[in-house]
Amino acid sequence: LPYTIYLTANWNPTYLDMNPYYVLILGTPLVVQLKINLTLTIAIALERTLALLFPVTYRKFPASKYAMYCLLIGCLLGTVDLVVQFVLTSFHRSPQCGAFGCFISKEFRYYMGNSNMAMGFVVIVLVTFLIVKLHVMQRHSEMRRISQPSVKESSMFTQ
C-alpha cells in the first residue's frame, strides 16, 4: 500500500521518474509478504500431512506454538530476502517505469524467483500428497462400507 500511494502521488502522465530510494524501501513489505505467505502455506500443508499420517501425534501437537514459530521463520526468511535485495541492488533511476521490478537487480530477481519457485514446488508436492492420501482414504472407507452388511440386512435373518 505505501508503494501504491507513492506511485499515485507522483503520477505524471507524460514523464514518470520515481526516486529509487523510496521505491525500494516502500517495496519491502511486498518482498517480506511473499516469503511469509509461502512459509505459512508450507506450514499449513505440513500440519495437514501430520494430521493424516499421525493423528494421535497431531492431537498432542501444540498448534499455537507451531503457528508462532512458522510465522517467525517466515519473517526470518523475509528478512533474508530483504538483506539480499539491498546487497545485490544498486539504487538507480528507471525513467518511464513505475514497477518495482525496474528498480531491483537482475540477480535479485533471479534469486527471489528461484527461491519462491522452490517453496511453491514444496507446496505443490505436499498438496498433491494430501489429495492422493485423502482419495485413498475415501476409497478405503467406501470399500469397507460395501464389504460390511448393513444393519437392516443383518437383522432380516435374526429371529
CB 112, CB 30: distance < 8 Å = no
Residue 155 is assigned to a structural domain of this protein: no
Output the pLDDT for position 102.
82
Residue 158 is assigned to a structural domain of this protein: no
Q: Kindly give the parts of the chain with pLDDT less than 50.
A: none
How many domains does the chain divide into? 1
Residue 83 is assigned to a structural domain of this protein: yes
CB 114, CB 71: distance < 8 Å = no
Residue 112 is assigned to a structural domain of this protein: yes
Output the pLDDT for position 126.
95
pTM: predicted TM-score of the whole model, two decimal places: 0.78
Residue 133 is assigned to a structural domain of this protein: yes
Residue 156 is assigned to a structural domain of this protein: no
Query: Range of 7's domain?
Result: 2-148
Residue 14 is assigned to a structural domain of this protein: yes
Residue 76 is assigned to a structural domain of this protein: yes
